[in-house]
Structure 1
Amino acid sequence: MKFRFKALQRMREPDELDSPTLLAAPRGWIALFVVMITMGAALLWVFVGRIPISVDAPGLLTRHGGTALVQSPYAGMVQEVLAQPADTVTQGQALARVEDDSGHVRVVSAPFAGQVVGVPVGDGEVVQPGSTVAAIERTDVGGSSADGSATGSGGDVVAMVFVPAARAIGLAPGEPVDLSVSTAPAGAFGLLRGTIESVSPYPLTREAVSGLVGGDLAAGAYAGSSPPRLVVVDLLPDPHTPTGFAWTSASGPPGRLTTQVSVTATIDLGHQTPFDMFLGR
Structure 2
Amino acid sequence: MQFRYQALQRKREPDELDAPVLLAAPRGWIAIFVVMIVMAGAVGWAFVGELRVAVAGPGVLSHPGGTAQVQSPYAGLAKEVLVKPAQQVRAGQALFTLQDAGGQPRTVTSPFAGQMISTGLTLGQVVAVGDTVATVERTDLPHDRLVALVFVPADQAARLAPGRPVDLSVSTAPPAVYGLLRGKVTAVDPYPLTHEALASLVGGELAAEAFVTGRQAPRLVTVDLIPDPKAPSGYTWSTAKAPPVRLGSQTAVSASIHVSSQTPFELVLGH
TM-score normalized by the length of structure 1:
0.76
Give the Cα separation in 2 of the matches to 1:273 and 1:254.
38
Task: Decide which of 213, 236, 256 is 2:246's aligned counterpart.
Answer: 256
Structure 2: distance between partners of 1:250 and 1:263? 20
Q: State the shift of 1:222 in Å.
A: 1.1
1:77 is matched with 77
- Structure 1 match to 2:146: 157
Structural mapping, 1:112-131, within 5 Å: 112-131=112-131
Matches of 2:105 and 2:256, distance apart in 1: 50
Equivalent position amino acid for 1:130 in 2: G
Question: In 1, distance between residues paired with 2:170 and 2:213?
Answer: 20
Which deviations, in whole Å up to 9, do the C-alpha atoms of 1:104-143 show, x marking residues without a partner? 2221110001110111211111122221111111111135
Cα deviations by residue, 1:130-184 (Å, 9 ceiling, x for unpaired): 211111111111355xxxxxxxxxxx11000001111112100011001111111
Q: Contact 1:88/1:115 (CA < 8 Å) preserved in 2?
A: yes
The answer to whether the 8 A contact 1:163-1:228 is kept is yes
Identity %: 53
Deviations 1:158-213 (A, max 9, x none): 00000111111210001100111111111101111000010001110111001111
Residues in 1 aligned to 2:249 and 2:49: alpha-carbon distance in whole angstroms: 41
- Gaps spanning 5+ residues in structure 2: where? 1-34
Ranges of 4+ aligned residues in structure 1 off by more than 3 Å: 47-51, 272-281
Q: 2:170 aligns with which of 163, 181, 186?
A: 181
- Give the alignment of 1:39-54 within 5 angstroms: 51-54=51-54
Residue 270 of structure 1 pairs with residue 268 of structure 2 = no
- Amino acid corresponding to residue 133 of structure 1 in structure 2: V
1:225-263: CA deviation from partner (whole Å, max 9, x where unpaired):
321010000000111111110000114101111111110
Aligned equivalents of 1:272, 1:182: Cα separation in 2: 30
1:3-57 C-alpha deviation (Å, 9 max, x unpaired): xxxxxxxxxxxxxxxxxxxxxxxxxxxxxxx9xxx8xx98x95x99764211211
SS in 1 for 2:102: coil
Asked if structure 2 preserves the Cα contact closer than 8 Å seen for 1:242 and 1:251, the reply is no
Q: Is the contact between residue 206 and residue 223 of structure 1 (CA under 8 Å) also seen in structure 2?
A: no
Q: What is the SS of the residue equivalent to 1:188? A: helix
Change beyond 3 A, Cα 1:246–1:48: closer
Q: Please state how far the C-alpha of 1:99 moved relative to its aligned partner.
A: 1.8
Aligned residue in 1 for 2:21:
none
How far apart, CA to CA, are the structure 2 residues paired with 1:125 and 1:96? 11
Amino acid at match of 1:242: P
- How many pairs were matched up? 237
Alignment partners' CA distance in 2, 1:279 and 1:68: 48
Which residues in structure 2 correspond to 1:225-244 (within 5 Å)?
225=214, 226-244=216-234
**For the residues of structure 1 that align with 2:269 and 2:71, how far apart are their CA atoms?**
51
Q: Secondary structure at the match of 1:166?
A: helix
Corresponding residue number in structure 2 for 1:92: 92
CA spacing shift, 1:99–1:278, aligned 2, 3 Å: farther
TM-score, normalised to structure 2, is 0.78
User: For 1:258, what is the secondary structure of its paired residue?
Assistant: coil
Give how far 1:278 is off: 7.5
Task: Give the structure 2 partner of residue 108 of structure 1.
Answer: 108
**1:135 aligns to what?**
135
Q: Which secondary structure does the structure 2 equivalent of 1:111 belong to?
A: coil
* Residues 182-221 of structure 1: pairs in structure 2 closer than 5 A: 182-221=171-210
Unaligned runs of 5+ in 1: 1-33, 145-155
